[in-house]
Amino acid sequence: MKTLRIFNPRTKRKEEFKTTDRKAGVYVCGITPYDITHLGHAFTYTFFDVLLRYLRYIGYQATYVQNLTDIDDDIIKKSKELNKNWRKLGEENAQKFLQDMKWLNNEQPDAYPKATDHIRGIQEMIKVLLKRGVAYAKHGSVYFSIAKDKSYGKLSGLSRNRMLPIANQRGNDPKDPNKRDSLDFMLWQARKKGEPFWNSPWGTGRPGWHIECSVMSTSYLGDTVDIHGGGSDLIFPHHESEIAQSEAATGKRFVRHWMHTGMLKYKGEKMSKSLGNLVLIRNLKKKYSANAIRMYLLSHHYRSVFEFYEKNLKGAQQREELFKKVWRLQSQTGSSLNISEYREEFHKAMNDDMNTPQALKTMERLAKRILKEKEKNITAAKAFLNIAFGIMGLTIEYQ
């Protein structure tokens, strides 16, 4: 079995994944629970579930951390619209998300930290950044100065002119009078009327979005994270800013490998809560099995951008029925079916930047071969298919 290679968004090349001690720390940015789970969420978290399963299969002791951003602008805004307590709103939606992920057969992360449980750690990191002169405080708020980080933008490769409009769409206020630079980002936000707050050395307020993930990832996985993931819409400004503040605070490389899932579209636009063009898991599971939805999602490469058409779920259902026929077969006492080429192709696909579409095609080809030569001893073939099912997070079903 050859080495896993992962696409590097900075170099645009696939690079070998390895750690010195066969341990792998994986951090994936979780949801902001101001609404319920849609298929775009499912695509991201199902892929990373498969990644963790595969890392463990090839011998890594993998630790998976996925956070819950339970305090930010969106959840505060939504709670006001619904006239509901922000914490209660977050807990209710987080519970629905976890139930949907469990139904999809996604394994629970090893740690599932809430941002609000890490306020003290956030404040400690901000103190370090202030002490090192890369941050500044004004009127109760604290900002990271991008002028102090000459490499800011190294992940996204964006020019300053392209950064600003994207940042503005994602919570940046370029007209904030406290800022030295319109792109400087918030580490601590001074208290606003009607918003939740915590005490701090700079006055009452709440943490900025980016600092939350820096603190939670390093708290559980150390100063350098082996794999950091999330949707590609997080590359800038979120992940870019995480790099800047984390490396300024620790003096160490923050992430060895970045992995970003492509955007899922629906009706010509990116599927998102803000646009309201959502395909909800709670609705899909009334008509389709978890296996069918997983196979549909994993039939797209994790970096691909694709549009959802419900008719395409029919293909996943047909594949699901094919596998059910295999599981119902009894092995005969004849010569064993040779599966070496299928095993090799499966591993080759998974090692090639987690090419799950190709891996599924190999599994399908093997299933068809089993059905065609069912008079043979298919014990080893079904055993390998069972291993592949486990890696893909699929469950064996007969009916």
In whole angstroms, what is the distance from residue 155 CA to residue 100 CA?
Answer: 32
Q: How many domains does the chain have?
A: 2
Q: What is the per-residue pLDDT across 4-19, written as a single tens digit (0 to 9) for each?
A: 999 999 999 999 998 9
Which of the listed residues 270, 296, 331 is the one where a domain comes to its end? Answer: 270
What's the CA dihedral at 186, 192, 195, 200 to 10 degrees?
60
For residue 397, tell me if it sits in a domain: no
Categorise residue 297: left if φ over 0, alpha if ψ from -120 to 50, beta otherwise: alpha
Q: What's the alpha-carbon Rg for the chain, to the nearest Å?
A: 23
**pLDDT (tens digit per residue) in 193-211:** 999 999 999 999 999 999 9
- CB 362, CB 348: distance < 8 Å: no
| DSSP letter (8 states) at residue 235 | I
Q: Which of 244, 270, 296 is the C-terminal boundary of a domain?
A: 270
Average pLDDT score over residue span 144-167: 95
Same domain, 180 and 302: no
Q: Is residue 30 part of a domain?
A: yes
6 belongs to a structural domain:
no
Span 363-373, average pLDDT: 95
Backbone φ, ψ for residue 99 (5° rounding)? -65, -40
Domain annotation covers residue 27? yes
Residue 353: CATH number of its domain: 1.20.120.640
Say yes or no: 186 and 328 in one domain. Answer: no
261 and 300 share one domain:
no
Are residues 165 and 87 part of one domain? yes
Closest C-alpha to 288, from 327, 261, 315: 315
CATH classification of the domain holding 84? 3.40.50.620
Whether 277 is covered by a domain: the verdict is: no
pLDDT tens-digit readout, 87-133:
999 999 999 999 999 999 999 999 999 999 999 999 999 999 999 99
Let me know whether 139 and 47 are in one domain: yes
pLDDT in the model for residue 1: 63
**13 in a structural domain:** no
Classify residue 8: in a domain, yes or no.
Answer: no
Of the candidates 107, 115, 125, the one whose C-alpha atom is nearest the C-alpha of residue 45 is: 107
Residues 110 and 169 in one domain: yes
Same-domain pairing of 148 and 90: yes
Residues 264 and 291 in one domain: no
Residue 115 lies inside a defined structural domain of this protein: yes
Tokens linked to 63: 């630790």
- Residues 235, 343 share a domain: no
Q: The domain containing residue 245 runs over which residues?
A: 19-270
Read off the pLDDT of each residue in 312-335 and give the average, rounded to a whole number. 91
- How far apart CA 217 and CA 225 sit, in angstroms, is 7
